[in-house]
Amino acid sequence: MKDQVIVITGASSGIGAALAELVGGKGARPVLLARREKELGEVASRSGPEALPLVVDVTRREEVTRAVETALARFARIDVWVNNAGQGITRLVSELTDDDFDDMMRVNVKSALYAMQAVLPHFRERGRGHVINVSSMLGRVPIAPVRSAYSAAKHALNALTANLRMELREQHPGIVISSVHPGVVATDFGRKARYGGPDSRQFPGAQPVEEVAGVIAELIESPRADVYTRPGARQLVVDYYAAEDMGQREQEPPFAAPRRP
């Protein structure tokens, strides 16, 4: 990982900040993207001497494109791009508005699409590169109905990730496209969800953010297509889709009926 240029979106807190500090400590050159300048600068100060903080709104295509250009101007290459920026929602399907759904798609899907399309020409020119899309267990299984549109957005992100991997497979085998699927992580994700919600850090068994960052760092060093951050998560997904009656499976733990937090 030493000297690799690793771009991380959503880097001002949570998983992104922990990953920035981890890879910076391993000698990488992290490029940190987020909207909050003060917090971003603080993370950069803890992420190694070559950390480059860039104030960027990743929901704006032109700003993502400029971030690629700035990173290349500084380091002459990009090795890894981690699409980590995202936001949740606390609303049932029956309550969703157009704005709710559009916002979830813009923050969780279109931001990653903009980044993939912006960095891809550079990766094709080099013949190698690695995109890591941070998805969610909710992009695989409907464990939390109040996260409805967030779950839908992460399902869409998973589809784009797999389709891009298949698109590049024959002509650009050196470009790796990966998904990472955390469960509940001990961050302020819940409080910052659209319409608010419980603090994810208070959930029993919430995974420490450092563990999730460690899984992503290991994925950078040993690339593969699809990674879960907790033991048993992959089997939960397999069992759900293999069930003869998925509706029956949804009545069993860890699935739950729609309810407010």
Largest Cα separation within the chain, whole Å, is 55
195 is catalytic: no
Residue 185, φ and ψ in degrees, nearest 5: -115, 145
Q: Residue 137 and residue 144: Cα distance in Å, rounded?
A: 10
Q: Which of 114, 150, 195, 241 is catalytic?
A: 150
> Which of 40-77 are b and which e, b meaning 16 or more Cβ less than 10 Å from the residue's Cβ?
beebbeebbebbbbbbbebbeeebbeebbeebeeebeb
Specify whether the CB–CB gap between 145 and 255 falls below 8 A. Answer: no
Nearest to 177 by CA among 238, 227, 139: 227
| Phi-psi map region of 27: left, alpha, beta (phi>0 left; psi -120 to 50 alpha) | left
Structure letter (DSSP) for residue 208: P
Strand order of the sheet with strand 80-83? 52-55, 29-34, 5-9, 80-83, 129-134, 175-181, 226-228
What single string gives the DSSP state of each residue in 114-126?
HHHHHHHHHHHHH
Question: Which residues belong to the active site?
Answer: 150
